Structure 1
């Protein structure tokens, strides 16, 4: 899709004359060189979603005259401050991409990897040091990272606005990749999307979205959340947010509210979900106020149903999870090492599948402590079984999948977190000492961590290049998976007990229980 008419003009000063240049459909960009790579940051792929464009589908970025500097990240989208996410006033150009490339030569034809950050669909910023693409790009791929609208701006069900605006942003970014990545040395016919947590859920959603068909050819879904909302549930959450603000959850009503006030209202709902348990059910146990909405249009059905129906049979899938998915959240919630029998029983009653799920869990894991059962059922419900079921659905639909589990325990923080949620991110990117991941990996990282990261990184880039990460494809007979550890092995999927407990669960769109 071509950009609209030029409305900006840039002039280059002498301090900005030596960087690599690339001509995109919107205009010329000048980036920088780092560690032998050409790096371009803060490239707009869509117009700022403010003013008349707020809560609208993304519109392609306008063109510009002259040479546009592309050496600084764009500002993060407005996002929840529940976990201390920082906000700044750097502007409203949130919808940007960043590119690392070995050589911005259209003849290079390198595989392309497009990263979708996670953060519960409420937080996320491609500028985090954990997501620096240099190590991956140094393996011979073009790496793209992106920002998309979050929270109310991106995922709330708003009357008069398209659903899943954050997902539509991702589609717009992938269209930008299709139309421009050749100039950066990438092959638009070898695009892999990859993401973790909400980013993995976004990848799963993109596999099910007709608007995304043909924009990517391989997909890596890390720790896929099983939370997708029905329109009724999403609308009820939006109504509570509107009530918090004293407005109706419509485009006119919410457009008069600043992003900061919207964030505060969303955070208030986030903090008070337990009071809404009778209406919202499972998402109040692990507070999740935002998720993709199965609206019948942007997202016609859940990823599991779509893939089982063959929606992504032509897209190679790499999917998996960590062993101890919930332990990090136990630490954040202040219950690590202190889970009571009552808390375990509540989690089993609310989250385990089937009317007798709690009993079946205790019967299936007879030696497990209350804390172990608490972590198992939380991890299975939120990440482990949704990820496994995505592989099963891909096979049912005639496609191909490779399965993995990260079993290597994080050595940082005294080793209490095990193979926790998010541990795979620094291993994939190779940024072992950057940002918050340094605490998990240990500072300095051990030779074993460096070796494991190189193995994971090599598997991801090989999959992007050839569709083969280096171990046999998953099938329902042998159920082979790569177990990433020191040493790593290929073996039967180790969570067989949980698989049997969840094998008949469909992960439907979560309903509104009562009005």
Structure 2
């Protein structure tokens, strides 16, 4: 192994990315601003000009040599292919590990986006304005390291969310430079999303997006050491759909041994049976005049397929009688419990001991669903609230929620129900299942918020972990809380410290989860360890069994 630039581990960077805006549009959930970046949006600009050699660093890995660049005290390598381009006959196939290369490959720019709905209606749009058609090498990964060499630092592999519809590793929200400065090697990966990654297609393997993740983890195992990472100490961490993918990875034999620890942040509890997934795919393909087969769909362009998917999303609530609760979510895709690649839902697999050797950290934010309801004009109607309680709540759920929260208004009850069904209770039940299966698990809740309107809503957690919400941006919000800027710095540092401590040795600083005590770390203006804070919800959902969602007809 050869490193052609000395490491600079230990230096600190004062630059932060500033991001936060209103939520939620199906194809563009965050408006972004990255303060100090070259074009106002691209994360952590590299030092030195392209072609000058200044600030460049070369790492020679088994897959081949790559030339990255220094971004402050962190070396960054972008757009490294881990699998062959999913085009032609490979478009809907299992990923094929990338071939190695000769010479030194430039790894300064992010790779192309995977096919997905674009911010302006195009199939693929990068933050620099590039539009593509999905024909390039899009299965790539990025590495941030404070010490390229033989440091053998803990490795943290980020699997981002995006409702199984979006995947932008170049998004400044996921700039891992500040996290890497704490003494870990961070890897982010692109993986197939939408119909290409998660639709059930005859002749194609299910869960192709998760198979991509497994292939990327294999690349990390084989190649991360020259970047300064320890291949025997890998932690996968992900949020929302990324967290749910990690829960699936925990019970998939193909992923066994690829990571030592896992962090599931705000995982949605939606997994599909084959019948439900097939019905959804048919709804997407029928207007295109094709069958949901690999032969037919290979002839459909990524643009046409994403547009057909968007048309289905727009009318999903009308299908609640057929598709059940998933019709009330923002996405028609979820991992498929097909009995082969994913043999069971994560709760069942963990309870049976499938991942008792993997240490687990799982949690959620306090006000998950408020991210969807906090925008002006997006408060639920009386009809929507009634439909939600009819389709999502356990038996006598509406009466039980009203009895537990007599002072709550209908919108607040709706937010509690949807937060519980989609995020909070699936996370708590995952901890219960892991404990029952003999695993070591800890739980947390993020209860802090910087503004009174959104509360501690979905997605706030990863902004704190990555440090990509700046105090200056928080201070400009019209509903900012007093002292939010000061609290933001404390809380971000605390969460990063706990996350990296867990990655180092599995000990983030609070007690293991036990159903008798339910010790939970709660991140607020101060950090406390207490009994799980949502006892009424826990009791309401205590007899519910999460599993694969089924077709209703």
TM tier, shorter chain? over 0.9
Task: Provide the rounded CA distance (Å) in 1 between the counterparts of 2:87 and 2:153.
Answer: 35
Are 2:249 and 2:255, in contact at CA under 8 Å, matched by a contact in 1? yes
1:349 matched to which residue of 2? 390
The corresponding residue for 1:400 is: 440
Determine which of 498, 506, 531 is the counterpart of 1:459.
498
Deviation string for 1:357-401 (max 9, x for gaps)?
222222232222111110011110000100111111000000011
Q: State how far apart, in whole Å, the 1-side matches of 2:471 and 2:334 are.
A: 28
Find the counterpart in structure 2 of residue 389 from structure 1.
429
1:162 equivalent among 195, 200, 205 = 205
**Residue of structure 2 equivalent to 1:498:** 537
For 1:329, the equivalent position in structure 2 comes to 372
For the 8 Å contact 1:78–1:149, the answer to whether it is kept is yes
For 1:200 and 1:438, how far apart are their aligned partners in 2? Answer: 29
Tell me, in whole angstroms, the C-alpha distance in 2 between the residues paired with 1:82 and 1:229: 27
Q: Is structure 2 residue 335 aligned with structure 1 residue 292?
A: yes
Give, in whole Å, the separation in 2 of the partners of 1:183 and 1:139.
Answer: 19
Q: Does 1:15 align with 2:55?
A: no
Runs of 4+ deviating beyond 4 Å: 81-86, 434-445
Query: Where does residue 89 of structure 1 map in the other structure?
Result: 131
For 1:98, what is the secondary structure of its paired residue? strand
**Structure 1 CA distance for aligned equivalents of residues 376 and 277 of structure 2:** 25
Q: Structure 2 matches for 1:79-478, cutoff 5 A?
A: 79-81=116-118, 87=125, 88-90=130-132, 92-105=136-149, 107-331=150-374, 334-336=377-379, 339-354=380-395, 356-411=396-451, 415-433=452-470, 446-478=485-517
Alpha carbons 2:450, 2:484 under 8 Å: kept:
no
1:65 is displaced (CA, Å) by: 1.6
Tell me the secondary structure at the aligned position of residue 75 of structure 1.
coil
TM-fit CA distance, 1:24? 2.0
1:287: how far off? 3.3
Report the Cα distance in structure 2 between the residues aligned to 1:83 and 1:207, rounded to whole angstroms.
Answer: 36
In 2, Cα distance between equivalents of 1:14 and 1:134: 23
Q: Which runs of 5+ in 1 are unaligned?
A: 1-12
Query: Shift of residue 445 of structure 1?
Result: 6.9
Deviations, residues 397-452 of structure 1 (Å, cap 9, x unaligned): 000111100000232xxx20000000001100011239998977979971210111
Q: Does structure 1 conserve the Cα–Cα contact (< 8 Å) formed by 2:58 and 2:68?
A: yes
Q: Which runs of 5+ in 2 are unaligned?
A: 1-49
Give the aligned partner of residue 527 of structure 2. Answer: 488
Residues 231-270 of structure 1: per-residue CA shift (max 9 Å, x gap)? 0000011111110211000011000001011000011111
**Distance change (3 Å), C-alpha of 1:94 and 1:499:** same
Per-residue CA deviation, residues 269-299 of structure 1 (Å, 9 max, x unaligned), is: 1111122222101111223200000001111
- Residues of 2 paired with 1:109 and 1:239: CA distance? 48
Select 1:69's aligned residue among 106, 118, 121: 106
Task: Report if aligned partners of 1:352, 1:361 keep a CA contact under 8 Å in 2.
Answer: no
2:65 matched residue in structure 1:
28
Q: CA deviation at 1:81?
A: 4.5
CA RMSD, 1 decimal = 2.2
Q: Specify the SS of the correspondent of 2:211.
A: helix
- Is contact 2:471-2:488 (8 Å) kept? no
Q: What is the CA–CA distance in structure 1 between the aligned matches of 2:516 and 2:117, rounded to whole Å? A: 43
Task: Describe the SS at the equivalent of 1:130.
Answer: helix
> 3-state DSSP class of the match of 1:236?
helix
Distance 1:273 1:75, change over 3 A: same
Change in 2 beyond 3 A, CA 1:20/1:113? same
State TM-score, norm by structure 2. 0.86
Query: TM-score, normalised on structure 1?
Result: 0.92
Q: 1 CA distance for matches of 2:53 and 2:377?
A: 49
After TM superposition, give the deviation of residue 469 of structure 1 in Å.
1.0
Of Structure 1 and Structure 2, which has the larger fraction of its residues in helix? 1
Q: Which moved more, 1:152-161 or 1:443-452?
A: 443-452
